[in-house]
């Protein structure tokens, strides 16, 4: 009798085996399908039970690839709300981000909160689109998309860390309250993501949504002022490195959307290690003068060393650069470099 119960219990457990199968230490699964994040036809990315889609207000530019994001939490576990920073996710949490062009899925990047901390696992989809294989150092993929040839670079797992490390600890970047504060379509209907996460037990400690800041959508003027949208764009595309604990902290150029003084954002700030990327310009940013601003020059470049961000794109994000150009132009006119107080040198 007792044995029967045991067998039944283990059957029940095996039943859970239809759900997501998390792995929190090496060796990590070679195939994406092993995680069981998706059910049905693999390329349709139909989320398995407990796998929840999410979106961010403003997103990182990755050579115009389309992205789908999902989060999964271990049963009974929730992320802890933080007002400004990325939420504190429980051990076992999985974030999945899939990159595609039209119907072709290129890669799915997993961030897994493993025993040893967060690990970044890049999975590359096969041509048949039936599964993806873990490749910590994948080759670039040639893509033709809307008439543009893209030599799409899949970041190796060290490059993942270049953006995802803060003070050398790997972690998610996107899931911050102001980034997630938006509506999303769920099977049950359309809801605010933060409220939904709270309701299903994925988030604890969040205040009422009306009290949470909402980052504007960079290319939707109805969501915020030009200044707010430009700051949001820079935050999402630059601040993971350009912040006090990011990998470009040594530059002292901090492009977060939190209150920062103008010099830290590059205004009248002389470059530190730009080299020829300065293009002969004197300051990272000059109010009223996009053409005098190194920051914009580097966004408009696709040349290694000059271009910013350094990795994650091979094309210029024309629309993003246009936003920053418009933003810099809109500012009070300083009288070129002189407005930044350059005087005759005495050496």
Partner 1 sequence: MFKRLTLSLSLLLLSSCAKKEEGIAAGPNFEKDLQTALIQAKSGAVIELPEGVFPMTGTLSLTVANVTIRGKGIGKTVLSYKNQTSGAAGIQATGDHFTLEGLTIQDTKGDGVKINDVDGVTIRKVRAEWTGGPNEKNGSYGIYPVKCKNVLIEDSASSGAADAGIYVGQSKNIIVRRSRAEFNVAGIEIENSEGADVYENVATNNAGGLLVFSLPDLPVKGSRQTRVFNNQVFANNTPNFAPKGNIVAKVPTGTGIIVMATHQAEVFGNDIHDNDTVNVSIISYLSTGNPMNDATYDPFVSQVSLHDNKIGAGGTKPAGVAAELIAPKYGKALPGIMWDGIAKGDPQICIHNNGDTGFLNYDAGGEFKKMSTDLKSHSCSLPALAAIELPGGTR
How far apart are the C-alpha atoms of 271 and 211, rounded to whole Å?
38
State the nearest-atom distance from the C-beta of 19 to partner 1, in Å.
30
State the nearest-atom distance from the C-beta of 104 to partner 1, in Å.
22
State the nearest-atom distance from the C-beta of 303 to partner 1, in Å.
8
- Note the residues at the interface with partner 1 (CB under 8 A): 136-137, 139, 151, 153, 156-159, 161-162, 165, 168, 244, 247, 249-252, 262-263, 268-276, 278-283, 294, 303-305, 310-311, 314, 340-347
Q: Which helix (H) or strand (E) is 142 found in, with range?
A: strand 141-145
Do the Cβ atoms of 212 and 192 come closer than 8 Å?
no
**Smaller CB separation from partner 1, 53 or 252:** 252
**Smaller CB separation from partner 1, 141 or 282:** 282
Do the Cβ atoms of 19 and 72 come closer than 8 Å?
no
How far apart are the C-alpha atoms of 251 and 243, rounded to whole Å?
9
**Smaller CB separation from partner 1, 76 or 341:** 341
**Smaller CB separation from partner 1, 31 or 151:** 151
State the nearest-atom distance from the C-beta of 143 to partner 1, in Å.
16
State the nearest-atom distance from the C-beta of 306 to partner 1, in Å.
8
* 178 CB-near residues (< 8 Å, 6+ apart): 57, 84, 212, 213, 214, 215, 257
Do the Cβ atoms of 79 and 202 come closer than 8 Å?
yes
**Smaller CB separation from partner 1, 130 or 245:** 245
Q: What secondary structure does DSSP assign to 194-244, as a single string?
A: HHHHHHTTSEES---GGGS--PPPTT-GGGS-HHHHHHHHHHHHHTTTSST
State the nearest-atom distance from the C-beta of 55 to partner 1, in Å.
28
**Smaller CB separation from partner 1, 3 or 344:** 344
């Amino acid at each position: 009798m007792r044995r029967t119960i045991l067998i039944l219990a283990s059957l029940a457990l095996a039943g859970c085996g239809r759900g997501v199968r998390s792995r929190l230490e090496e060796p990590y699964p070679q195939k994406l399908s092993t995680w069981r994040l998706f059910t049905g036809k693999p390329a349709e990315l139909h989320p398995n039970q407990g796998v929840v889609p999410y979106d961010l207000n403003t997103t990182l530019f990755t050579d115009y690839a389309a992205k789908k994001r999902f989060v999964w939490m271990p049963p009974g576990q929730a992320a802890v709300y933080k007002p400004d920073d990325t939420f504190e996710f429980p051990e076992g949490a999985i974030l999945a981000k899939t990159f595609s062009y039209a119907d072709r899925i290129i890669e799915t990047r997993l961030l897994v909160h493993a025993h040893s901390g967060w690990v970044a696992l890049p999975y590359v989809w096969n041509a048949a689109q039936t599964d993806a294989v873990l490749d910590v150092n994948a080759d670039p993929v040639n893509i033709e998309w809307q008439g543009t040839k893209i030599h799409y670079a899949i970041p190796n797992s060290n490059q993942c860390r270049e953006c995802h490390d803060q003070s050398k600890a790997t972690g998610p970047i996107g899931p911050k309250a102001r980034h997630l504060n938006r509506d999303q379509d769920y099977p049950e209907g359309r809801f605010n993501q933060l409220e939904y996460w709270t309701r299903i037990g994925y988030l604890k400690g969040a205040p009422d949504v009306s009290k949470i800041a909402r980052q504007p959508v960079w290319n939707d003027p109805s969501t915020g002022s030009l200044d707010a949208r430009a700051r949001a764009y820079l935050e999402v595309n630059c601040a993971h490195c350009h912040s006090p604990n990011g990998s470009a902290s040594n530059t002292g150029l901090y492009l977060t959307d939190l209150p920062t003084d103008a010099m830290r954002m590059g205004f009248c700030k002389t470059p530190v290690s730009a080299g020829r990327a300065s293009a002969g310009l004197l300051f990272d940013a000059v109010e009223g003068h996009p053409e005098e601003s190194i920051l914009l020059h580097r966004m408009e470049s696709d040349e290694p060393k000059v271009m910013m961000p350094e990795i994650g794109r091979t094309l210029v994000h024309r629309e993003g650069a246009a936003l920053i150009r418009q933003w810099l132009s809109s500012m009070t006119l300083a009288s070129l470099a002189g407005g930044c107080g350059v005087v005759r040198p005495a050496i």
